[in-house]
Structure 1
Amino acid sequence: MYLTKINAQPVDGNFDWNGYFSARQHESILEGIECRGLLESVRAMLAEDNAVLTLSLTRVLRALLKDTPLAKPRILELGAATGYLTRWLLHRYGGHATLVDNSPGSHAAYLAVQDPVKEHIDYVRSDLFALDLPREFDLTCSFGLIEHFADKREVLAAHRRFMKEGGRSLVVIPLDTKLTRVFYEVHPEQNLGYRELLTIPELKAALTDAGFEVLGVEVSQGFAYDYAAALCR
């Protein structure tokens, strides 16, 4: 149970319902709010949690991939950071993966991860646009990558470049909703670089413009922000 904090007394016969619906009272309450405390409360409520993300991502990916045969696939994740998405896929489907990221900080964070599936992962420190790999991957993917590029065509072309004939691509992005906007507004430390939030129609249009056929889209529920996952070929 969560109890709101401004007038946190039970309703009785003396409660001022006229004041409750009065814009004037709303203004007086807002004037007395301590903004830093309010900000910290919202930040705490919208904090990222790996366990909650795993539950959310599991629901999304099971629905999205239920008709996609992935028996021990070869996976390529671009802009991978710690390879969270790929590690979920390896735990479920097996196979072998290559993670690509050019950030020393991301690589250091990956090295600190304790996960047995890392023995099935190769980590490549490279600019994804200068990447030299064979076209052999059953699944290419990214989680929170394409929204950092104003022109999506080149970064999406990289997803296609290494996908073998008959392969699939999985693109996950933060979704343009009120919840996601609030999340990034109250977490400015995560929002320093260029980030363009997309709606589902905008995501589909970007994928289609890059030459993909969109097979399905699933949207998260219950996480700190809303995200969408699109499966393409």
Structure 2
Amino acid sequence: MQASELATAAVRVATGGASVAAAQKEVVQELVWGRLGGSTLGASALARLHEQPGEGSAGIVASVLADELRADPEFAARVAGALQAPQSSSPPPPQPATRTRAASGPPPPSYYPPRPATAPVQVPRAADVRNILLLGFPQAMLAYTVAYIAKENGAGAAVEILILLVSTGLTGYGVWLGVRLFLRRVRSGALICAVVFNVLVLIRLLDWLVGSALSA
């Protein structure tokens, strides 16, 4: 049996799409869910199947499982052995709760694979980190230079305050972008340093802005 066929059969058994004994289904589930839950790609595929059960999501899980079977012949042999266990000759009689469930209702809870406890941590794009950095110190220095030139040319305090407001807003936007990435479980050392640096710049700009407003 090819890896793709073996993966499809295993997913059908694990999700309740094939009529097998409960013990055999449990063994296949432990093998498949346990293996896929240990990788980022596999955990994502299981989460999708949990949230959107259906042939499309099951196909994705089967595709990921097929790659695992090709990469690990020993694991493939274990899955094949679990699938070759004696199957029940006829499906078990439905329980009373099953009889009363509408045909169009959701499948029984055993259909769903275990959901990963937490989403995997992702690495941010280099462009995101760069944009956050540019919204901090570089633009703050530009704002300082423009404010200094404007002051030397006789501009009033209102111009300086306006420039500081714009610079403070841009820095705050950079901090907000970083926090939003953190909430999406996107992490890296560079991203953390960029956000912390922007927070320090933001504090300095706020202090400068308050001082300018009080002296105006």
Relative to the length of structure 2, the TM-score reads: 0.23
Relative to the length of structure 1, the TM-score reads: 0.21
Name the structure where strand makes up a greater proportion of residues: 1
Larger radius of gyration: 2
Name the structure where helix makes up a greater proportion of residues: 2
